[in-house]
């Protein structure tokens, strides 16, 4: 393959060229706009070099919203292609690339950063800390994620996207069956982003274990913080497996090794095992924080303490352990014996028990509560029945003998969307709305938010419930076309209509942000939702230092107790605060990683070597960097506090 062929634009169709033109024009418009308004200095000082956990969290969330619509565009194209029999909208290769990128983008570049963004904003506030344990590592984590996501997405227009499914099973992902560079993008872009996620896991474990406010024992932590601690423990145990698997995949594709091919003693099932040893815990990496979000929201808007605090913690720990012993249920039909299938069938069904405990705890929290139907509460209430459908169908799939009927059908696609969309997407939208006033000092419109909710909730069921039926009737997943004689057409058209409804719902979400930013009243009330957790004890928006005085915590409902029982939360006096300085090293290192990744994808070894040297140079520079942070003096803190109180 010569240089020109490697850089040839894939799928030279009008749609692809139109997309390329739109991307180019948008990029040019952004550059011209920033230059015209002279904002380059502001962007560099306040955002590109920031180490403030709140700003980093906002950047994660913005990236996730961008990827939500990127992955959503893939979903619309898939539903449009299968809406009618024998459709010629997309060819087979293009369809393969679309469903591959859809899965990767939605799981790794939408759900993960949305969760990590909320984690960044909320967790330090909930535990009474002024930042995370390692602020610069936090910045590096974001820029590695972001550059990995951008590297993955440029495959759409340069070289071709990955085409072996989001699981990238071998031999489909090998150079024998996928000669383009698409799966090189998969291996290297996810590797870069994964390193950042692993660093985040380490950072937040240390933050939660070592930086809690005085008096906050582990069993006094808010439930969201508990869910984040357990999630990051899963990350630290699971992501190294993905790191190794992607490294071996890279060696197979770029250097001719045979770890995952049958030639020279390799084994394709080795990839399947490594992938799902990471992949199934990954499901709970995005689900468990959602459980924490729902726990915060349901207790707040039911006006009751969370029922069964200890059982909620124990059930999350049980889920995290069981998540590592169910991976083989993803390939019951691939040659396991009866004993192996039976063991994994039992462990898979067992994980439904602690999940069921949480469902009942939320229901008991609602029981006799004074429920307020805000937008976050609507998402939380809708989650319970919809997620239960996903769980029940999951138990059906857990039966290894029955799975021979369900495997690789649209029934499976419906199942995991019934788990992941209410279990993650509903949760991050609920948390996004719930904590928005804490971040930006104004609330999103309830009216527009409720319109968006109803469009999303109803359209979701219209989109995915028909797939249960067509799957049981034999429609296979990943097929880009089917004949009219199958009878799948009407239900697939219904799914397409539902997908359009989801598009309207998410468009309303964006419109809500636009409208509220322009017209919603500003205020600095600390408790717009009558909330219960400690993050609401500081000002809105939150100052750089989070808390002028570090709070003293005596119960799991410390903020609520300070309001209702008169328990003193802030003891002591205002003193000088030390905060870390901004740093350009994380951003520069992220850019160099992007260059390194692009060079590796196209086997441009000289550039890759130079980029590798650049990465180590950044690390060396950071090790010699004399940065003792900056001090915020008492007078400055008092002035800031006075302004924030005066703005109420």
**DSSP string computed for 221-233:** S-HHHHHHHHHHH
User: Which of 401-410, 496-505, 626-635 is predicted least confidently?
Assistant: 626-635
Q: What's residue 529's pLDDT?
A: 63
Tokens of 452: 């968006």
Task: Compute CA distances 601 → 182, 190, 281, whole Å.
Answer: 8, 12, 28
- Predicted confidence (pLDDT) per residue in 246-285, tens digit: 999 999 999 989 999 877 888 889 999 999 999 999 999 9
Cβ-Cβ contacts under 8 Å for 623 (sequence gap 6 or more): none
Q: What is the DSSP letter of 543?
A: P
380 confidence band (pLDDT: 50, 70, 90):
very high
Q: How far apart are CA 547 and CA 641, in angstroms?
A: 10
- Predicted confidence (pLDDT) per residue in 456-504, tens digit: 999 999 999 999 999 999 999 989 999 988 889 999 999 999 999 999 9
6 confidence band (pLDDT: 50, 70, 90):
very low
Residue identified by tokens 């913005």 is 62
Q: How far apart are CA 47 and CA 62, in angstroms?
A: 12
- Predicted confidence (pLDDT) per residue in 522-559, tens digit: 775 555 566 778 888 888 888 889 888 898 888 888 88
User: Which of 23-27, 63-67, 97-101 is predicted least confidently?
Assistant: 23-27
In this predicted structure, the answer to whether residue 321 has a pLDDT above a threshold of 60 is yes
User: Which of 199-213, 302-316, 515-529 is predicted least confidently?
Assistant: 515-529
Q: What are phi and psi of 631, to 5 degrees?
A: -110, 135
Q: What is the DSSP letter of 409?
A: B
Tokens of 239: 């992501």
Mean pLDDT for the chain overall = 90
Q: How far apart are CA 134 and CA 206, in angstroms?
A: 9
Strands (E), 553-637: 577-579, 630-632
14 confidence band (pLDDT: 50, 70, 90):
low
Q: How far apart are CA 56 and CA 141, in angstroms?
A: 10
3 confidence band (pLDDT: 50, 70, 90):
very low
In this predicted structure, the answer to whether residue 644 has a pLDDT above a threshold of 90 is no
Q: What are phi and psi of 579, to 5 degrees?
A: -130, 150
In this predicted structure, the answer to whether residue 38 has a pLDDT above a threshold of 70 is yes
647 confidence band (pLDDT: 50, 70, 90):
low
Task: Compute CA distances 451 → 134, 382, 421, 454, 500, whole Å.
Answer: 40, 14, 18, 5, 15
Q: Backbone dihedral region of 90: left (phi > 0), alpha (psi from -120 to 50 degrees) or beta?
A: beta
In this predicted structure, the answer to whether residue 4 has a pLDDT above a threshold of 50 is no
Quick one: how far is CA 174 from the chain centroid?
Answer: 28
Q: What's residue 28's pLDDT?
A: 86
- Mean pLDDT on 179-192: 93
Q: How far apart are CA 469 and CA 481, in angstroms?
A: 17
Q: What is the DSSP letter of 477?
A: T
Q: What are phi and psi of 578, to 5 degrees?
A: -100, 130
2 confidence band (pLDDT: 50, 70, 90):
very low
User: Which of 165-179, 193-207, 413-427 is predicted least confidently?
Assistant: 165-179
> Which residues partner with 577 through β-bridges?
632
User: Which of 297-306, 380-389, 518-527 is predicted least confidently?
Assistant: 518-527
3-state secondary structure 192-241: HHHHHHHHHHHHHHHHHHHCCCCCCCHHHCCHHHHHHHHHHHHHHHHHHH
Q: Backbone dihedral region of 32: left (phi > 0), alpha (psi from -120 to 50 degrees) or beta?
A: alpha
Q: What's residue 12's pLDDT?
A: 59
CB contact at 8 A, 239 and 197: yes
- Percentage of residues in the chain with pLDDT exceeding 90? 62
| Whether the predicted model's global pTM rises above the 0.75 cut | yes
3-state secondary structure 54-88: HHHHHHHHHHHHHHHHHHHHHHHHHHHHCCCCCCC
Tokens of 427: 């949760």
Q: How far apart are CA 457 and CA 461, in angstroms?
A: 7
């Amino acid at each position: 393959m010569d240089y020109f062929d490697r850089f040839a634009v894939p799928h030279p169709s009008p749609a692809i060229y139109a997309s390329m033109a739109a991307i180019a024009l948008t990029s040019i418009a952004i550059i011209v706009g920033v230059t015209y308004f002279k904002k380059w200095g502001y962007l560099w000082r306040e955002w590109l070099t920031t180490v403030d956990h709140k700003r980093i969290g906002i950047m994660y969330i913005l990236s996730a919203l961008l990827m939500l619509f990127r992955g959503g565009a893939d979903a619309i194209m898939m539903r449009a292609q299968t809406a009618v029999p024998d459709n010629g909208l997309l060819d087979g290769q293009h369809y393969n690339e679309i469903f591959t990128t859809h899965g990767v983008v939605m799981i790794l570049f939408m759900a993960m950063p949305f969760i990590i963004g909320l984690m960044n904003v909320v967790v330090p506030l909930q535990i009474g800390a002024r930042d995370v344990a390692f602020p610069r590592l936090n910045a590096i984590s974001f820029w590695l994620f972001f550059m990995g996501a951008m590297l993955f997405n440029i495959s759409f227009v340069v070289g071709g996207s990955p085409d072996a499914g989001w699981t990238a099973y071998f031999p489909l992902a090998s150079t024998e069956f996928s000669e383009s560079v698409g799966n090189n993008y998969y291996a290297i872009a996810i590797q870069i982003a994964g390193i950042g996620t692993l660093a985040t896991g380490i950072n937040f474990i240390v933050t939660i274990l070592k930086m809690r406010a005085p008096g906050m024992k582990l069993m006094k932590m808010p439930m969201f913080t508990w869910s984040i601690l357990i999630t990051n423990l899963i990350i630290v145990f699971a992501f190294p497996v993905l790191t190794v698997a992607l490294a071996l995949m890279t060696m197979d594709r770029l250097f001719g090794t045979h770890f995952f091919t049958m030639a020279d003693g390799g084994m394709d099932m080795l990839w399947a095992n490594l992938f799902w040893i990471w992949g199934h815990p990954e499901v709970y990496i995005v689900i468990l924080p959602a459980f924490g979000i729902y726990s915060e929201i349901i207790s707040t808007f039911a006006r009751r303490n969370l029922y069964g605090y200890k059982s909620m913690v124990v059930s999350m720990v049980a889920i995290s352990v069981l998540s590592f012993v169910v991976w083989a249920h993803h390939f019951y039909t691939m040659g396991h014996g009866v004993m192996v299938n039976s063991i994994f069938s039992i462990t898979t069904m067992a994980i439904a028990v602690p999940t069921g405990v949480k469902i009942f705890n939320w229901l008991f929290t609602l029981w006799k509560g004074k429920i307020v139907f805000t937008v976050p509460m609507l998402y939380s209430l809708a989650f319970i029945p919809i997620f239960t459908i996903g769980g029940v169908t999951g138990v059906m799939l857990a039966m290894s003998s029955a799975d021979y009927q369900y495997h690789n059908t649209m029934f499976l696609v419906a199942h995991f969307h019934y788990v992941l969309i209410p279990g993650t997407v509903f949760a991050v939208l609920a948390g996004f709305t719930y904590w928005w006033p804490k971040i930006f000092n104004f609330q999103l419109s309830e009216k527009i938010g409720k319109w968006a909710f109803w469009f999303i909730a109803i359209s979701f069921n219209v989109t995915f419930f028909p797939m249960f039926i067509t799957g049981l009737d034999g429609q296979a997943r990943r097929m880009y076309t089917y004949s009219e004689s199958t009878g799948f057409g009407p239900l697939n058209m219904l799914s397409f209509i539902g997908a359009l409804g989801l598009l309207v719902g998410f468009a309303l979400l964006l419109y809500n942000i636009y409208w509220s930013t322009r017209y919603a009243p500003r205020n600095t009330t600390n408790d717009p939702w009558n909330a219960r957790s400690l993050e609401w004890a500081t000002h809105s928006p939150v100052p750089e230092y989070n808390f002028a005085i570090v709070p003293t915590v005596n119960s799991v409902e410390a903020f609520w107790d300070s309001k209702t029982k008169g328990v003193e939360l802030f003891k002591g006096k205002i003193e000088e605060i030390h905060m870390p300085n901004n740093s350009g090293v994380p951003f520069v290192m992220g850019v160099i990683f992007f260059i390194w990744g692009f060079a590796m994808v196209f086997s441009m070894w000289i550039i890759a070597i130079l980029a590798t040297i650049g990465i180590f140079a950044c690390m060396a520079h950071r090790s010699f960097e004399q940065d003792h942070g900056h001090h915020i003096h008492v007078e400055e803190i008092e002035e800031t506090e006075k302004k924030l109180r005066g703005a109420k």
